[in-house]
Structure 1
Amino acid sequence: MNDRYQRGRAVMDEVYGPGFSAALDGQSGPFLKETVEHLFGEVWNRPDLSTRDRRLLVLGATAAFGRADLVQVQARGALASGDCTPDELHESVLQLAFYVGWGNATSVQEGIARAVAETTTAAEPNQD
C-alpha cells in the first residue's frame, strides 16, 4: 500500500471511528482506491473545513437521498469522534426536514436513532 492509501485509511478511521478501515482489508479496485486515496486522503484531509463541517455537509447531502443506512454511518462516525452529540444529531433532523422533505427526514431520523442506540448500547457497562 502506498502513502496516500495509508493516509486515506487513517482519515477514514478518524471520520468513522477506530478500526473502520479494517473492513477494507482484502478488497481492491479502482473505485475503492480513489475513495481511500483521493476522497479521504486528500479531500477530507484539507485544512479549510473541519471534519465536523465536512460531516454535516455530507449528512445534509445524504439526507437528500433518504437513505437511513448512509445517514447511520455518518451519525455513528459523528458520535464516535465526538463531532456531534445525540441531541445535535436529533436537532439536525428538524433542520433538514425543511430542506430535503419530510419523507427523507423520516429516513434521517431512523438512521440517527439507530446510530444513537448502537452508541448508547456500546457505552453501557456489561451487567453480567
Structure 2
Amino acid sequence: MTDDRRRRGLEMMRQVYGWEVGDAPGDFFGITVDHLFADIWSRPGLSMRDRRLLLLGVLAARGLNDVLDIQIPAALANSELTAAELREIAIFLTHYVGWPLGARLSVQIDTLIAEHERKRH
C-alpha cells in the first residue's frame, strides 16, 4: 500500500458512497480501499453510473438488500439515477431475478426514494 493509493481509494469510496470515509485498520479494509476502490472502481472504460447499474443488478440478483440500502441512496445522492430510472430498474430486473426478489427490490426502491425526498426537503 502506498499513501497515494490509499488516498485515491478513500476518495473513490467517498464518491461511490456519497459520504466521507475515514481510513481504518486491518487487512480487509486495506485491500478493499487499495484494490477495489483505488484500482477497480477507478479504471477507465465505464462511468460511475455504468458501474452502479451493474452493481445494482448483481445485488438484486443475489438478494443482497442490505448492500442495496447503501447503493440506491448513493445513486440518488450522486444524481447517477433518478427515481423514475430506479423504478424502471426494478421492473426490468424482476423479470430476470424472479418475482420475490424483484417485488422486494421495488418496495425497497420506493422506500429509499421516499427517504431521499424527505432529506431533501
TM-score (norm 2): 0.90
Percent of residue pairs identical: 41
Tell me which residue corresponds to 1:65.
62
Aligned equivalents of 1:17, 1:92: Cα separation in 2? 21
Structure 1 SS opposite 2:109: helix
Higher relative contact order (CA 8 A, sep 6+): 1
Structure 2 SS opposite 1:53: helix
How far 1:115 sits from its partner (Å)?
A: 2.2
Contact 1:67-1:107 within 8 A present in 2 as well: no
- Asked whether 1:38 is paired with 2:39, we answer no
Structure 1 residue runs of 5 or longer lacking an equivalent are none
How far 1:67 sits from its partner (Å)?
A: 2.5
TM-score (norm 1): 0.86
Q: 1:96-111 maps to which residues of 2 (within 5 A)?
A: 96-111=93-108
Aligned equivalents of 2:63, 2:12: Cα separation in 1? 26
Task: Pick which of 56-65 and 29-38 moved more.
Answer: 29-38
- Asked whether 1:86 is paired with 2:83, we answer yes
Aligned equivalents of 1:5, 1:86: Cα separation in 2? 33
Contact 1:15-1:77 within 8 A present in 2 as well: yes
Dislocated runs of 4+, deviation >6 Å: none
User: What are the Cα deviations for residues 47-95 of structure 1, in whole angstroms up to 9, with x where unaligned?
Assistant: 1000000000000000012122211211111001110001100110011
Tell me which residue corresponds to 2:120.
123
| Amino acid in structure 2 at the alignment position of 1:81 | N
Across the aligned residues of Structure 1 and Structure 2, the Cα RMSD in angstroms comes to 1.5
How far 1:118 sits from its partner (Å)?
A: 2.0
Aligned equivalents of 1:115, 1:5: Cα separation in 2? 31
- Asked whether 1:9 is paired with 2:10, we answer yes
How far 1:116 sits from its partner (Å)?
A: 1.1
Aligned equivalents of 2:16, 2:39: Cα separation in 1? 13
Tell me which residue corresponds to 2:51.
54
